[in-house]
Structure 1
Amino acid sequence: MAKESFDKEIQFLRMLSLAGGAYSRQQFADRLGISVHTYDKTLRNLKEMVTVLQQNLPVEQGAELSEWLRYNYYESADPLLLFLFRAKSLKETESLRLTRLLTALQSEELTAKELHDRCCEQTPDDSLLPDEKTIRGDLKYLEEVGVILRVNEKRPYRYKAANDLIDQLSGDELLDLYDYVDVIANTQIPSVQGYLLRDTLKKALRNRGYPPEATETHRYKYNYHSRILDEAHLYTIFGAIQQRRRIRFLYLSPKKGMNYTSKNTNPLFERESAGVTDSILPLRVVYDHQYGRWYLIGHHARMGIKKFRMEGLTQMEEGEPVEEAEYAARLQQLDKQMENSWVTDTNRTVKVAVRFYNPVRSGANFIRERVEAQGQWGVITEESEAAFLYEITVNEIYEIKPWLRSFGSSCEILEPRWLRKQFIAEWKEIRSYYESL
């Protein structure tokens, strides 16, 4: 799949999952910045992807796109937003060929020539037969990603599926591993690898005869499912960081309400792009757990340190490399500016002093435990059995403010005074909503 197409599908699925059926076709297309014709074409492409991914699956494991779009409270992120990772960059012929290779290697060790013969036997008469060079390229790719193993050191090389871990586990051990992966995939970041591993374990349990109910003993609500789509950019960004390369992209600010802009090749339909084409040297990727947002932070040639919300990045490409000395200097500059960042802020520092009140007549002091777990480098000073003092110096207060507000009446702002006044005004406004009752 082309990079631009993948960007479009990311934004398409994000809006579809968040808005559901709230928009008409025209409204949906307007929000994405595409035509209704492109909207229909994208929907057809998604349906075709589903068809390819369902090849050779049992009936009970297959699914129509309409079923995947149906909202399920506990499965909102899987598989609708996840299947794009399985489909990315795979043509139908590649998907079928890799499936045949992996199926053949499940039960025996085979050489590249033997696998080529197997693929040719299973390829329909009206389809193009793969050559041995293509099969060797597929095997090299599958070996690099850890799906298969080379079992000998001399030619001809023999390969087998990398199922040793799963095969050596008993049924109870496999269930325990599945439950653990299920929890971690829904609570840790990043989550895509966890979901893919969970699917593999689920298939292994079904192959051993376990009913579907065995994997549904626990249910989780995945709160920030759109972050799964943002993970698509991580591999390109981390690769650029490792190679000390700049990256180029089109940035669509989330504040402007435009989620996508097409690359128009037809001169009759050319229009000015709503986004901004930019180039930076990527230095850091930061995840804000409070809002479920990924941020890319890098050095801009003209504006210095610059931050971008990951969900606004499209059409990303690697650029030219930089010298190691330049990269180290930029990274040192960023680390200095972010030394007191609650998340990503690099503005002036502010000292914040807060009094937290311990819960009354409660066996567990969940206020203290939460401050200790989430308060980062802040300092706690004991005041009395009823309260304790928390002090921290941060870059601005905009990022720490929602965290402080979330404690409600258990938190009293002491410094700075202007922040205390802001909180007083906010709580008065909230109180006014309830006065009539």
Structure 2
Amino acid sequence: MYDIKWIRENPETFDKARARRGLEPLSAGLLALDDARRAAIARLQAAQERRNAASKEIGAAMQAKDAARAEALKAEVAGIKEDWPQLEAAEREAVGALDKALSEIPNAPLESVPEGKDENENVEVLRWGEPRQFDFTPKEHFELGEGLGLMDFEGAAKLSGARFVVNKGKLARLERALAQFMLNLHTDEHGYQEVNPPLLVRDAAMFGTAQLPKFREDQFSVTAGRGDAAQEQAPFWLIPTAEVPLTNLAGGQIIDEALLPLRMTAGTYCFRAEAGAAGRDTRGMIRQHQFFKVELVSVTTAEQSLEEHERMTQCAEKVLQLLELPYRKVVLCTGDMGFASQKTYDLEVWLPGQGKYREISSCSVCGDFQARRMNARYRPKDGAPRFVHTLNGSGVAVGRALIAVIENYQQADGSIEVPKVLRPFMGGTDIITRE
């Protein structure tokens, strides 16, 4: 979230950053809203000052036995009191209008981010591994899973509708093994602290990481089932990613600089309405309403954040390297990057069944954009508290990793070889066959 003071001091820089995202100039409109806010605050303060002064003058007039002046002053104070609710309402409305406008503005891309309109203009920066050459036509994951009798989309549809799946037997265990492997790697070797956060959060948490208010239609909300009116008016949100609770743990705090960077990881179910995904990836597990993901979150200083971004991305890459899954790394262009991001790397894993690379991880540095929304600060050794910088990344999406393993390790007979790094989690199973 932007600081209106900074926009007032740097209107051209602000509009230039918007132009890089393909957005129209907005500084003039925001400054007009800020002028209205300032004017409303000034009117309220002036009325308060005049009320206080008039109250003192009433006492002086009464001491001087000037009844007419005392009555006139009393009438003036009564008029101010009568107007007070409207003045307060005008101030709330002006402050709210500016806050709403600021909350819906995306973050500014870093200068190193390439300009472009959409995903077709993202820039590949690295390619790792060679796609396997099959001596048969590779199948897609859902063909293999259903062929093994271990991936049930029809059963899931009966329970919950489209974009759900029921994985069974060794395939369910393989999914669990992937999550355990990733969490062990990030905690034991990469220095992240494992956290088991709530899956239900309040509005403030979703606002803090910028899912609200702009992306409300992409979220699932639920209300408490206790008949409690207060609960019904303040719904919970199912988290779209563990980024939400993990990042918000720093909200409203002033953290000692010596404790930074904070590095957290969590394996959680995630929930997304996929409101804008009609007709896309309708078959299989690529785009689900519910999926499991291992998330990485860092909270750090401005000076450390870009280096931390490179480090976080490398931690996610290590997952794919140990699984021996070919992938490529791309930096997203200005037209494809997320709302809260300053810069994003996507890792795209090779899927032989589709014959193309598909996203499996996004690692983003957000600067102080989220920290301002949730008032997350740190105390430097010298000086006043400053806003932290936040980063988040998939380390990686477990469901998509399962897809990638199924497709890359498939055999001619439809069985699935278990990657070596996962076998310790699979109870000795090295080949998944039909049960």
What TM-score, normalized to structure 2? 0.23
What TM-score, normalized to structure 1? 0.23
